[in-house]
Amino acid sequence: MSPTQGPSLSPSCTGKPSKVDDSGFVVIGGIEQWVTAKGDSCANPIILFISGGPGNPLSGLSDSIYGAGQRDFIVVQWDQRGSGMTYGRSPPAPGEKLTIERMAQDGNELAAYLAKRYGKRKVILWGSSWGSILAVHMAKAHPELFYAYVGTSQVVNSIETQAASYKKLMALATSDNDTASLAVLNGVGSPPWTDPRSFGKVRRVIRKYEAKVTLPPPSTWHRAAAYTTEKAEDDYEAGEDYSFMNFVGMHGDGMLSQVDLPKLGTDFAIPVYFVEGAHDLLAPPEMARHYYESITAPDKGWVLLEHSGHDPNQEVVDAEYKVLREKVLPLTQVK
């Protein structure tokens, strides 16, 4: 990819459809941001994946996790502002803060760029965890860019979600007489939290309890070699730290505190599909279900997975692709 905004179409898209294997820096939102696009045919529709974290791009893991999807789609991964390769190339200025609005603008600018580059009318929007927050903001602002939205581990409202999560964890730890976890939970207290370390402490308890009842990710998932160099790993870690602090805020006043998706309106101009883990303790699925039931859209669908939590595993990936192939792919073939 050329490090310029809106270049002419890739040569592979101007003649006989051929394989897509692009990676590079694209000027989005005034800075160079890392984007990869991979698919077996340029004729395939584009999926723009909005990763979680923030600060946890899946570009390096994409081939091993989402490689199967390249048969039917052009799978696009994006290292968002302040994360991964983008952090390394375009580090934030001192005191610069991330905002949902700026990052949603970046995402929509990227979606328009991708459609133009590969000669498509629209792209498919797919978001997970933090990416599900950002993707909804993108879809509400510019629905004309997207065929549909597929959300996983959907976060809806920060205050209500954290309260429900904490209540569930307290019940589980109490039932197990888990004194270590109870000490952590009682130590941070009920949310919302003003100490940025509280979120991470609770996250570790969540992973402990989700691991008891969910399927682990396959051992074959691994980062590609280009993402395991010393610089790439240092940039990833630094971007993760920077993004996390912007997410939670020094006093609980970061981007997370502003999340209230229903306030954006529950009417969607595009189809909406949710794939949720039944044992998600970070963003409990009942919160996403309530949001889902309030949504009006041209079409919508709900999938609840019995062996999954917040983080992806093979059950999640398989279910996502089933929705993408059966529900979304036909939308891209309508003239």
Q: Which two tokens mark 252? A: 């609980």
> How many Cβ atoms are within 10 Å of 218's Cβ, its own excluded?
12
Instruction: Give the pLDDT score at 75.
Output: 98
Mean pLDDT of 253-269: 97
Does residue 185 surpass a pLDDT of 90? yes
Give the whole-number percent of the chain exceeding pLDDT 70: 95
Angle between helices 196-213 and 158-175 (to 10 degrees): 60
Does residue 7 surpass a pLDDT of 70? no
Q: Which two tokens mark 312? A: 């992806």
Does residue 12 surpass a pLDDT of 60? no
pLDDT in tens, 136-159: 999 999 999 999 999 999 999 999
DSSP class of 328? I
Give the whole-number percent of the chain exceeding pLDDT 90: 94
Q: Which of 90, 100, 84 is nearest to 247 (CA)?
A: 100
The dihedral built from the CA positions of residue 309, 311, 315 and 316, taken in this order, carries a sign that is positive
Query: What span, in angstroms and rounded, lies between the C-alpha atoms of 128 and 125?
Result: 10
pLDDT band at 63 (very low <50, low <70, confident <90, very high): very high
Instruction: Give the pLDDT score at 334.
Output: 83
**Averaged pLDDT score across all residues of the chain:** 95
**DSSP β-ladder status, 146-152 and 20-28:** unpaired
Does residue 238 surpass a pLDDT of 60? yes
CATH code assigned to 11-160+214-332: 3.40.50.1820
pLDDT band at 263 (very low <50, low <70, confident <90, very high): very high
Query: What span, in angstroms and rounded, lies between the C-alpha atoms of 18 and 13?
Result: 7
Mean pLDDT of 69-82: 98
Return the bridge partners of 276, or none: 304
Instruction: With 0.85 as the threshold, say if the pTM is over it.
Output: yes
CA distances from 155 to 89, 198, 226, 234 (A): 29, 18, 31, 28
Q: Where are the beta strands (DSSP E) in the chain?
A: 20-28, 31-39, 46-50, 74-78, 123-128, 146-152, 272-277, 300-305
Mean pLDDT of 259-264: 98
